[in-house]
Amino acid sequence: MLRRIISGTIQSGSMLLVVASVAVAGTHSPDLDRLQATDNVQVIVHRSGNSTPDYSGHQITKIATLPTGDDLCSGAVANVLAVSGLSTVSHITVNHSVQGTGSAKPVYDFMPQAVQPTSPIAKFPNFGQGVGVGVALIDSGVTPNADLAGSIVHSETFVNGEDSKDYYGHGTHLAGLIVGKGVNSFSGYKGNIIHGVAPGAKIINLKVLDKTGTSDDATVIKAIEWAINHRAAWNIKVINLSLGRPVFESWKTDPLAREVEKAWLAGITVVVAAGNAGRDNTVGTQGYGTIASPANHPLVLTVGAMNTESTKSRTDDLMTTYSSKGPSLLDHVVKPDLVAPGNRLWSVLSTSKPFLAAQTGAVLISSQGDDDNAPQYIELSGTSGAAAVTSAAAATLLGSEGSLTPDQVKARLMKTADKSLDRTSTVISGFTVTNDIFTVGAGYLNLDTALSKKGDPKYTIPAGTYAASPAAVIRGTQNGRLVIGLDSTVWGSSTVWGSSTVWGSLVNGDSTVWGSSTVWGSVIDAASTVWGSSTVWGSSTVWGSSTVWGSSSEPGALSTVWGSSTVWGSSTVWGSSTVWGSSTVWGSILGGDPDTGDNGNSGN
């Protein structure tokens, strides 16, 4: 059943219902204003109610009506802008290109052991995890092999001219991370069985990315709508979106964001990759403000990528340099929500001659010690893999507690995420990484802990409450520094976050999202956690003593103080201009981050 949010507007699913006594003109995405008037562009037109815009009178061609009721159209920018002014139009957005958030001396990643550090059988596929749960994998398709046998229960393609197989090499890799059985690695891989986290789950393969890894908003929206409409038939409880694009407008009007919201409110946990733009310093933000869409939506579970350092232990794991950082552009939503293994992950190689496997630097993995064997696996890096790992964790949790709502799943995984990541800055290949709230979110995914809290009311938020990620807001200045506070009112009073609940000092330490009393998990004095001058936060940034996010309207003990010479200038993260560089949101991470420890992979 769809739930309705009561806030400043009336909502049904993802469609905003405009209540007014007089007709008003529509709006349009700001990026349309930056195009030439004569440029031809595809757009998504969100109608005002049940009205029908006059396209022909404005030389606009209607291509199709999307399952959402929106129209896919094309025409000159000048004509599109004219149509956006009609009272029959609510909002017009460019039909943006969407891409997958992954890339292409192998050393095994030990991802399953990283996700379940206390499980004695984590190295083996656990067929009891995720049983009965359908995961809609909206990606580049899946080409089944022995590792995925019986796990792909339905396939649809939304790509013109291509069947549902994987000619890019992205979707099959993700499917292996979620449900891989490890059959092809039972021998010949030094005792390592390359398997997924939830082999008992089922994949519903919805192909939207073509053989080059490209799609567009309209195609992805069609697939999400299909998943919503068929959720009962295939028990779809999770949607994995390891794809995205730069943010061009608020999540409130972005059609891709509206669609993931609709899926979430229909009872589907939507897991989205944060993006791979953490290295982008084009406008001096050190990669901050680069969360992709639709990962910027407050409801969805947004995931960044960790590096397991190719070891079994989590103690040496590091945050990756390329994982996109918050807050989100324009709306300043605190993202990512958590981080999970995503660097140099081994998983199933598509046998459909995939594009990624042919690229320079691609790592194809054969039975070790026998290079004559055909490779069965491929090593890829990115927040794509981290999202897939988290989707598998969500499926496992739902397999154990089938009545959990998407918000309860999100809150449980955030609350139980490890918050013991080292807060000192780390330099990796010339890039500085600091494990702050906009980089690692609530912490490092720990599925064992999440499963162990079944039935514990401290870790299960009440049904009907929302785990929408809060927005970061500037509260003012204090001693020459900006003070950043929390705004959790985007979803109204039914949201779970607030200084007196999960975020604040009134909650038992081990049940908070960000740790006991502070974001970092231990009670400390205000002056004892100081970020060094090598970070973007300035030379004397101090975390507050009670909580990172204050709810008070004035700077004080419950607020977080950032340096004044930071990324938070009016023309970057907080302003209306874009932070995306020419290298695009996805960057060039074919090899991922190097391992820094002595595990046989140092410096690679």
**510: confidence class by pLDDT, cuts 50, 70, 90:** very low
* Closest listed residue to residue 344, CA positions, set 102, 520, 37: 102
Percent of the chain with pLDDT over 90: 45
- 277-295 core/surface letters (b: 16 or more CB in 10 A; e: else): bbbbbebebbbbbbbbbbb
pLDDT of residue 121: 64
- 124-148 core/surface letters (b: 16 or more CB in 10 A; e: else): ebbeebbbebbbbbbbbbbbbbebb
If DSSP codes are grouped into helix, strand and coil, which group holds residue 270? Answer: strand
Compute the average pLDDT of residues 567-586: 38
* Closest listed residue to residue 135, CA positions, set 253, 59, 223, 237: 237
Query: Can 332 be counted among the known catalytic residues?
Result: no
With a cut of 80, say whether residue 125 has pLDDT above it.
no
Q: Where are the domains of the chain?
A: 16-95, 99-452
pLDDT of residue 436: 83
Among 14, 164, 384, 551, the one annotated catalytic: 384
Who has greater pLDDT, 151 or 575? 151
**Torsion angle (degrees, nearest 10) of CA 285, 287, 292, 295:** -100
Compute the average pLDDT of residues 120-140: 87
pLDDT of residue 580: 40
φ and ψ at residue 256, rounded to 5 degrees: -70, -40
With a cut of 90, say whether residue 543 has pLDDT above it.
no
pLDDT of residue 424: 72
With a cut of 70, say whether residue 148 has pLDDT above it.
yes
DSSP state of 495: B
Could you give the CA distance from residue 285 to residue 253 in angstroms, rounded to a whole number?
Answer: 25
Residues 6+ apart with CB under 8 A from 383: 101, 102, 242, 273, 274, 275, 276, 303, 304, 305, 323, 324, 342
Count Cα neighbours of 223 within 13 Å in the Cβ-side half-sphere: 29
- Average pLDDT of the chain, as a whole number: 76
With a cut of 50, say whether residue 96 has pLDDT above it.
yes
Could you give the CA distance from residue 425 to residue 32 in angstroms, rounded to a whole number?
Answer: 39
**6: confidence class by pLDDT, cuts 50, 70, 90:** very low
Compute the average pLDDT of residues 449-467: 91
- Look at the alpha carbons of 54, 60, 64, 65 in this order and tell me if their dihedral is positive or negative: negative
Beta strands 27-28 and 560-562 are unpaired
With a cut of 50, say whether residue 261 has pLDDT above it.
yes
Residue with tokens 């997924």: 196
Which strands, in side-by-side order, build the sheet including 345-348? 345-348, 377-380, 363-365
| One-letter amino acid for residue 148 of the chain | L
pLDDT of residue 134: 98
pLDDT of residue 530: 22
Q: Which two tokens stand for residue 337?
A: 């929500």
Angle between helices 171-179 and 383-400 (to 10 degrees): 30
pLDDT of residue 478: 67
| One-letter amino acid for residue 216 of the chain | D
Q: What pLDDT, in 10s, does the model give residues 402-450?
A: 999 999 999 999 989 988 887 777 888 788 888 888 899 889 999 999 9
Provide DSSP, 272-318. EE--S-TT--TTSSTTTT-PPBTTTSSSSEEEEEEE-TTSS-STT-E
Query: Can 154 be counted among the known catalytic residues?
Result: no
With a cut of 60, say whether residue 319 has pLDDT above it.
yes
Q: Which two tokens stand for residue 87?
A: 């009272």
With a cut of 90, say whether residue 498 has pLDDT above it.
no
H or E element, residue 256: helix 255-265
pLDDT of residue 71: 95
Report angle CA 111, 112, 118 to the nearest 5 degrees.
120
| Euclidean distance between the first and the last CA atom of the chain, given in angstroms as a whole number | 50
Structural contact between residues 437 and 514, judged by C-beta atoms closer than 8 angstroms: yes
For residue 471, what are the β-bridge partners? 333, 487
Could you give the CA distance from residue 383 to residue 388 in angstroms, rounded to a whole number?
Answer: 9
φ and ψ at residue 414, rounded to 5 degrees: -70, -45
With a cut of 90, say whether residue 479 has pLDDT above it.
no
Most trustworthy range by pLDDT among 341-355, 424-438, 470-484, 485-499: 341-355
* Strand ranges (E), 358-502: 363-365, 377-380, 426-428, 431-433, 471-478, 481-487
pLDDT of residue 471: 85
| Region 16-95: CATH code | 3.30.70
CATH topology classification for 99-452: Rossmann fold (3.40.50)
| One-letter amino acid for residue 96 of the chain | H
Provide DSSP, 181-247. --GGGSSSSTT-----S-TTSEEEEEE-S-TTSEEEHHHHHHHHHHHHHTHHHHTEEEEEE-EEB--
Out of 392-396, 488-492, 521-525, least confident range: 521-525
Compute the average pLDDT of residues 454-476: 85
**23: confidence class by pLDDT, cuts 50, 70, 90:** very low
| One-letter amino acid for residue 307 of the chain | N
Ramachandran class of 310: left when φ > 0, alpha when ψ lies in -120 to 50, beta otherwise: left
Most trustworthy range by pLDDT among 173-182, 500-509, 579-588: 173-182
Could you give the CA distance from residue 509 to residue 517 in angstroms, rounded to a whole number?
Answer: 7
pTM above the 0.75 mark?
A: yes
Q: Which two tokens stand for residue 401?
A: 């507690």
Percent of the chain with pLDDT over 70: 70
Among 46, 91, 96, 170, the one annotated catalytic: 170
Could you give the CA distance from residue 434 to residue 440 in angstroms, rounded to a whole number?
Answer: 9
Q: Which two tokens stand for residue 246?
A: 């730069």
With a cut of 70, say whether residue 531 has pLDDT above it.
no
pLDDT of residue 133: 98
Who has greater pLDDT, 241 or 123? 241
pLDDT of residue 490: 59
Query: Can 553 be counted among the known catalytic residues?
Result: no
With a cut of 50, say whether residue 603 has pLDDT above it.
no
Out of 302-306, 341-345, 495-499, least confident range: 495-499
Structural contact between residues 28 and 46, judged by C-beta atoms closer than 8 angstroms: no
How many helices (H) does the chain have, and how many strands (E)?
A: 10, 28
Among 70, 139, 280, 595, the one annotated catalytic: 139
Structural contact between residues 466 and 407, judged by C-beta atoms closer than 8 angstroms: yes
